[in-house]
Structure 1
Amino acid sequence: MKILIVAATRPEIAPLYVHFNLPQKDFVQTAEFDILITGVGMTAAAFALGQRLSSKYNLVLNLGIAGSFDPTIPLGSVLNIISDELSELGAEDKNGFIGIDELGFGKSKFSAHHHLLNDLLTSLKRVSGITVNRVLGNENSIAEIIKRLNPATESMEGAAVLYSCEQTGTPCLQVRSISNYVEPRNKERWKIGLAVKNLNDWAIRFLTNT
């Protein structure tokens, strides 16, 4: 099975590069898997996938770190994001929000579709997330998104990757580790190093046992 690993930045999967002795490039090819570094954000992710995604891949694996809205999920946890939503795609209506679905111009929610029964995957907690252009850090906007969508995670690329895979009919996974809670910005509480380590430990085991 040929896998395309997709990440926004190289530091998020740096230990994977080291483990497999890979060159420090944004597109790397091996016999079993390729790596694509897209850049940060939905536009960069969609553009990069548009250039590289093809029928030769049997699975797209989106890896990255994320924020969590759920304080019961420990920092460093590795999660299986089974659905992801473009939370900002729509229109403001006075004090409310009308999603793109309700407007009748498309859809905002996409699912990860695959047929894998790998124990390393099935053991992960399954959650839903949102994809944003602006990482949330205001108490009012955080409360509004929890009330409207109640997501578990926040990223800046996930839904764009799932959208691209849906358009091409490519099986896909999104696996992320939690580096911080979604709250007023406080870098002292972030655990990026732990999140990166746990994510890559999982990814290396997955790649060597699939």
Structure 2
Amino acid sequence: MRVLVMTAVAAEADSVAAGLSAALVDSVDPAHRVVVLAGGVGPAAAAASTATALAASPYDLVISAGIGGGFQPQAPVGSLVVADALVAADLGAETADGFLPVVELGFGRTTHRPPAAFAARAAEALGALHAPVLTVSTVTGTAARAAELSSRHPGAGAEAMEGFGVAEAAALQGVPVLEIRAISNAVGPRDRPAWRVGEALTSLKGAFRALGPLLEESP
């Protein structure tokens, strides 16, 4: 299986690559099965960099991976979340009656679904929560915002900034997508000293070590 893993920043890409065996990963040589790239922060950068990579070489699967915020209590700091849906949580319009997603405005889409069986197997292999991962352009920093997102997306596991952008690019090429998040902080009031980025990066490394056998399978 030829796999493209897209992260936001180099530290995430390094953790992913460190978790994979040398036989699987090489970010330069396209003959290797897994290519790991840092494509930038946010859905626009993620979509552009993913589209560029997919135009350059064919892949059987794209994975959006990195650290993220976890909705409490289902996704505690240090845990892993594998998406059962990649959701654009703030793509739409504010109205007097509340938020309207873009699909209710009559155009676009807000959700991509990974291959159900493969995503479930990945979640089991990683010991991860299998739940929606929300893509936002502005990271949540208040309890009110966290409560609003939880109300609009019941059961959401994590919040990050790239998954939906990666999925949009993959969908245009007809390539399935997966999202994996290692939780570095709770979604809610911004408390930077409480973030555990190093621990989350270690969890991300472990996630890809566990995922390796699935990526070695034929597409």
Q: Is the contact made by 1:114 and 1:171 (CA closer than 8 Å) also made in structure 2?
A: no
Aligned-residue sequence identity (percent) comes to 30
Shift of 1:120: 4.9
1:41 and 2:45 aligned: no
Residue number among 161, 169, 182 corresponding to 2:174 in the alignment? 169
**Number of residue pairs matched?**
207
Partner of 2:206: 201
Find the partner of 2:99 among 97, 100, 105. 97
Cα displacement (A) at 1:117: 7.9
The alignment's C-alpha RMSD in Å is 2.4
Which residue pairs with 2:8 in the alignment?
Answer: 8
* Secondary structure of the structure 2 residue equivalent to 1:176: strand
TM-score by length of 1: 0.87
Deviation, 1:68, is 1.0
Is the CA contact (8 Å cut-off) linking 1:114 and 1:172 kept in structure 2?
no
Give the 3-state SS of the residue equivalent to 1:28 in structure 2: coil
- Equivalent residue of 1:64, what SS? strand
**1:109 pairs with one of 86, 108, 111:** 111
Aligned to 2:28: 28
| Structure 1 pair 15–89 and aligned structure 2 pair: CA distance change class (3 A) | closer
1:154 and 2:156 are equivalent in the alignment: no
Contact 1:38 1:45 in 2 (8 A): yes
Unaligned runs of 5+ in 1: none
Contact 1:80–1:175 under 8 Å retained in 2: yes
Q: What's the secondary structure of 2:82's corresponding residue?
A: strand
**Partner residue of 1:78?**
80
Q: Mapping of 1:135-146 within 5 angstroms?
A: 135-146=139-150
Question: Can you give the 5+ residue segments of structure 2 that lack an aligned partner in the other structure?
Answer: none
Residues 114 and 73 of structure 1: is their aligned pair in 2 closer, same or farther, counting only changes over 3 Å?
Answer: closer
Q: 1:139 & 1:166 partners in 2: Cα distance? A: 33
Cα-to-partner distance string for 1:43-102 (whole Å, 9 max, x where unaligned): 100111111114621111221111011224331111211212111111111251111111
Aligned residues of 2:13 and 2:38 also touching (Cα < 8 A)? no
Distance in structure 2 (CA, Å) of the matches to 1:2 and 1:32: 5
C-alpha contact 1:82 1:112 (8 A) present in aligned 2: yes
Q: 1:63 aligns with which of 62, 65, 77?
A: 65
Q: 172-181 or 144-153, which moves further after superposition?
A: 144-153
Structure 1 residue runs of 4+, over 6 Å off?
Answer: none
Partner secondary structure for residue 118 of structure 2: coil
- In 1, the alpha carbon distance for the partners of 2:71 and 2:198 equals 19
Deviation at 1:167, TM superposition (A): 2.1
